[in-house]
Chain A
Amino acid sequence: MKKYFDIIVIGAGHAGIEASVCTAKMGFKVGLFTMDLNAIGRMSCNPAIGGTAKGHLVREIDALGGIMGQIADKTGIQFKMLNTSKGPAVWSPRCQSDKNMYSIEAANMIKDLKEIDIVQGVVNELIIEEAEKSNQKYKFSIKGVKTENNSFYFCESVIITSGTFLNAVMHTGKSRLEGGRIGEKSATGLSECMRTLGFETGRLKTGTPPRLDKNTIDFGKTETQNGDEIPKPFSHKIYNNFPYQKQVDCYLTHTNEQTHAILRTGFEDSPMFTGRIKGIGPRYCPSIEDKISRFSDKPRHQIFLEPETLDGDSIYMNGFSTSLPFDVQQKAANTIVGLEKVKLIKQGYAVEYDFFPTHQIYLTLESKLVSGLFTAGQINGTSGYEEAAAQGLIAGINAGLKLKNEEPFILKRSESYIGVLIDDLINKCPEEPYRMFTSCAEYRLVLRQDNADIRLMKYGYKFGLIEKDLIEKLDVKINLINEGIKYFETNTISPKIVNDYLQSKNSSELSQNEFLSNLIKRNEIKLSDLIEMDAFKENELLNIIKKDPETVNQIEIEIKYKGYIERQNEHIRNFENNENIKIPSDFKFEKIKSLSAEALEKLKAVKPASIGQAMRIAGVRPSDISAIMIYMRG
Chain B
Amino acid sequence: MANVLVVDDSAVDRCLVGEYLQEDANLQVDYAVNGREALARLEQEPVDLILTDLMMPEIDGLELVGTVRREYPLVPVILMTSQGNEDIAVQALHAGAASYVSKHMLHRKLLETVHRVLSVGSRRRCHSRLMECMTDSHFAFTLENDCALFTPLIIYLQETVSQMGICNDGERTRIGVALEEALANALYHGNLEIDSQLRDDDQAYYALVEDRMGKAPYRGRHLTIEVSLSREKAVFVIRDQGRGFDPTTLPDPTDPANLEKASGRGILLMRMFMDEVAYNSVGNAVTLVKYVNGNAPPPQPTTGSAPQ
A and B: real partners? Answer: no
